[in-house]
Amino acid sequence: MATALKLKELAQQPERLAPGHRMCAGCAEPIIVRQTLHATTDPVVVANATGCLEVATTIYPFTAWRVPWIHSAFENAAATAAGVEAAYRSLVRQGKIKDQQVKFIAFAGDGGTYDIGLQALSGALERGHKMLYICLDNEAYMNTGIQRSGATPLGAWTTTSPVGNVIPGKTQYRKPLTEIIAAHDIPYVAQAAPHNWRDYMTKVQKALDADGPSFINVLSPCPRGWRHDTDETVEMSRLAWETCFWPLFEVENGEWRITARPKEKKPLAEWLKRQGRFSHLFTPANRHLIDELQAEVDRRWDKLLKLCGEA
């Protein structure tokens, strides 16, 4: 059952991700996971791709998970979750177990989703497994030490797109993954960010109620990789939204809708300048990259407005 999104009531709910895990200070991922698990009171089974969340919450013999949880490998969270979901449907249909409205949720990072896990995800979506796949998008391979991924923005410093004498960080734009997933025509697709917990939890509830596969791409600021202070995580999330770098929207049964629109669209530089990974862009030689990035954000924002009928 969906929970009433009232802070007082949510604070009374049992925590299904226990404290004491070893996620970094300031990491957005446990915030997002707790918001996810607080959105429903139904039983939940979690499949987790290899990554920060997996390694930091389950260091044997400890586990932070108070729900059934499975990790298999990096690129197969969708296929693993699909197997669990199919087993559940089979066993319920045969009367071997009771139907308890179990919800199946897969968590994976951007590396595990945009890149190495895209095939397994696409296949699972096409087959129609009733499960929610959540991408925790921190815009690089953070678990292995900040390497560029298909989600890393143009110009960003990472350890495999270093700022050198010739090449100023990543030279490609990020992959528009949420749109790619929406093109699968599944019942529910959304983009969200942890600063707007009510927006995100509402999306989780809609996703879990959808009659088929659902997907949410959640921006997950990473102080280590983005090079910002650990108390600025939520602020980084909010600025990504206010600059329209990371719009909050949903695609419900094919209908595109912006779920929270910033009052005024701030210049992208306000988000970039707060993060060390972009600091080299603020030199005269690289300044043009900020303009290029701004132009790309504007282009994608205008495209989204059109899709949402708001242009």
Partner 1 sequence: MSRHLALDGAQAIAEAMRQINPDVVAAYPITPQTEIVQKFSTFVADGLVDTEFITVESEHSAMSACVGAAAAGARVMTATSSAGLALMWEILYVAASNRLPIVMPVVNRALSAPINIHCDHSDSMGARDAGWIQLFSETAQEAYDNAIQAPRIAEHPDVLLPVMVCQDGFITSHGLERIDALEDDQVRQFVGTLQPHMPLLDLEHPVTYGPLDFYDYYFEHKRQQVEAMRHAGPVILEVAEEFARLSGRRYGYFEPYRLDDAEVAVVVLNSTAGTARVVVDRLRKEGIKAGVLKLRVFRPFPVQELAEALRHVRVVGVMDRSDSFGAMGGPVFIETCAAFYTQRHPALVKNFVYGLGGRDTTPDQIEAAFRDLVQIGETGQIGELVTYLGVR
Binding site for partner 1 (CB under 8 A): 43, 45, 47, 54-55, 58-61, 63, 65-73, 75-76, 78-91, 93-94, 96-97, 100, 102, 119-120, 122-124, 126-127
Contact call for residues 195 and 258 (beta carbons, < 8 A): no
User: Would you tell me the crossing angle of helices 77-93 and 118-127 to the nearest 10 degrees?
Assistant: 30
**Would the CA dihedral through 119, 120, 126, 131 be positive or negative?**
negative
Q: Quote the CA–CA distance of 106 and 192 in Å, as a whole number.
A: 16
The single-letter code of the amino acid at 204 is: V
Q: Which residue has the tokens 């919450």?
A: 57
To partner 1, the closest distance from the beta carbon of 155 in angstroms equals: 33
CB of 144 to partner 1, least distance (A): 14
For residue 161, the number of C-alpha atoms closer than 13 Å in the C-beta half-sphere is 26
CB of 274 to partner 1, least distance (A): 32
d(CA 43, CA 207): 15
Q: Least CB distance from residue 16 to partner 1, whole Å?
A: 9
Q: Which is nearer to partner 1, 88 or 241 (CB)?
A: 88
Which structure tokens are listed for 144?
């292995």
Least gap, CB of 226 to partner 1 (angstroms): 24
User: Residue 53 or 293: which CB sits closer to partner 1?
Assistant: 53
| CB-nearer residue toward partner 1: 61 or 284 | 61
C-beta of 119 vs 230, nearer to partner 1: 119
Which residue, 23 or 248, is less far from partner 1 as judged by CB? 23
CB 265 within 8 A of CB 301: yes
Q: Which is nearer to partner 1, 88 or 271 (CB)?
A: 88
For the bound state, the minimum distance from the C-beta of residue 135 to partner 1, rounded and expressed in Å, comes to 18
Q: Is the dihedral of CA 223, 229, 235, 241 positive or negative?
A: negative
Of 75, 241, 222, the residue nearest 138 (C-alpha)? 222
